Amino acid sequence: EAGVAQSPRYKIIEKRQSVAFWCNPISGHATLYWYQQILGQGPKLLIQFQNNGVVDDSQLPKDRFSAERLKGVDSTLKIQPAKLEDSAVYLCASSLTGTGVAEQYFGPGTRLTVT
């Protein structure tokens, strides 16, 4: 079974630039999550999708971050404009259901450096 795919794996941008990350979840997984993990910290949930609807985006900085999951499969996370404090690893995860019971499977992450 293929795992969660993310691209790019690494990205370096200057502050005030824009960046987008892509995630392809495990086939058949209805729920998709985006996390931000700053070095030395635990992941922070940014947004949760159930199919193509948003379940929770309470911790997403909506003035600069946006995410979509068209057709309920792939998802993109965008930052515009980036700030230095956005430097982190962005992890995508998927699960079979969104009830919280199902195990989450994480992708390899995208390491973003903002200079």
Partner 1 sequence: ELKVEQNPLFLSMQEGKNYTIYCNYSTTSDRLYWYRQDPGKSLESLFVLLSNGAVKQEGRLMASLDTKARLSTLHITAAVHDLSATYFCAVGNDMRFGAGTRLTVKP
Residues near partner 1 (CB under 8 A) are 33, 35, 40-45, 48, 56, 58-59, 91, 93, 100-101, 103-109
Instruction: Report helix, strand or coil for 12.
Output: strand
Shortest Cβ 44–partner 1 spacing (Å): 7
Q: Say which residues have a Cβ less than 8 Å from residue 113's Cβ, sequence separation at least 6.
A: 10, 11, 12, 13, 87
Residue 12 or 80 having the CB closest to partner 1: 12
Residue 19 or 36 having the CB closest to partner 1: 36
Residue 2 or 101 having the CB closest to partner 1: 101
Cα 22 versus chain centre, distance: 8
Shortest Cβ 106–partner 1 spacing (Å): 4
Question: What CA–CA distance (Å, rounded) separates 83 from 25?
Answer: 27
Instruction: Report helix, strand or coil for 72.
Output: helix
Contact 76, 67 (CB under 8 A): yes
Shortest Cβ 16–partner 1 spacing (Å): 28
Shortest Cβ 81–partner 1 spacing (Å): 27
User: Phi and psi (nearest 5°) for 72?
Assistant: 70, 20
Residue 38 or 84 having the CB closest to partner 1: 38
